[in-house]
Amino acid sequence: MHTEDWPSTTEEALAVQDRLRGRVELADDCPELPPTVTGLDVAYDDDGDIAAAVVTLETAGLTVVEERTHRARAVFPYEPGLFAFRELPPLLAALERLDRTPDVLVCDGHGRAHPRRFGLACHLGVLTGLPAFGVGKTRFVGTHADPAAARGSSVPLVDAGEEVGAVLRTREGVKPVYVSAGHRIDLAHACRLTLALTPRYRLPETTRHADRLSRAALK
Residues annotated within the binding site are 41, 108
Nearest Cα to Cα of residue 91 among 133, 55, 136: 55
Q: Are 152 and 169 in contact (CB under 8 A)?
A: yes
User: CA 132 to CA 130: how far, in whole Å?
Assistant: 6
Task: Pick the closest to residue 71 from 45, 92, 90 (CA basis).
Answer: 90
Q: Is the dihedral of CA 115, 103, 42, 153 positive or negative?
A: positive
Task: Please tell me the distance from the alpha carbon of residue 98 to that of residue 57, in angstroms, as a whole number.
Answer: 12
Indicate if the alpha-carbon torsion angle 24, 28, 29, 31 is positive or negative: positive
CB-CB contact of 6 with 75 (8 Å): yes
According to DSSP, the residues that pair with 37 across neighbouring strands are: 57
Binding site listing for Mg(2+): 41, 108
CA atoms within 13 A on the CB side of 120: 26
> 130-140 b/e with 16+ CB inside 10 Å = b?
bbbbbbbeebb
